[in-house]
Amino acid sequence: MSNVQRYDATAGGTVTFVNTFDVHSAADEFERVFADISAFMARQPGFIQYTLCRHIDEDKQNRYVNIALWTDVESWRNAVRHPDFQQHAKEIRSRCTNEANMYAPRQSYSVR
């Protein structure tokens, strides 16, 4: 279709942080704590966007993923080294296990 465009996603240096959570606290409590840490991250240099998503399967409602875009990996590293981040991170860690991975975009399609 003419309104779909392919982008070369290898330029620009942006990175995509994918953090998967298995939550063992109440979901609304986890989401509240996550909103606090996200408000902090959103103020740091290099932050572009994040979305916290919850698994749609009924038997996987304790599974979340955070997908975050940053201008560059060094900005993200600076943010997580910040003392305020460490305090927020403690609040998250006590409520879940997680697996975090940092990726760089290769290909992208988007409806314009």
Say whether 12 sits in a helix, a strand or coil.
Answer: coil
**Considering only residues 8, 29, 42, 84, which one is a binding residue for a second copy as defined by CB under 8 A?**
42
Least distance (Å) from a second copy to the CB of residue 111? 6
* Contacts with 60 (C-beta within 8 Å, 6 or more apart), sequence order: none
**Considering only residues 58, 81, 83, 107, which one is a binding residue for a second copy as defined by CB under 8 A?**
107
**Which of the stretches 49-57, 77-85, 87-95 binds a second copy when contact is defined by CB under 8 A?**
49-57
99 sits in the region (left: phi over 0; alpha: psi -120 to 50; else beta) called beta
DSSP 16: E
**Considering only residues 16, 25, 62, 75, which one is a binding residue for a second copy as defined by CB under 8 A?**
16
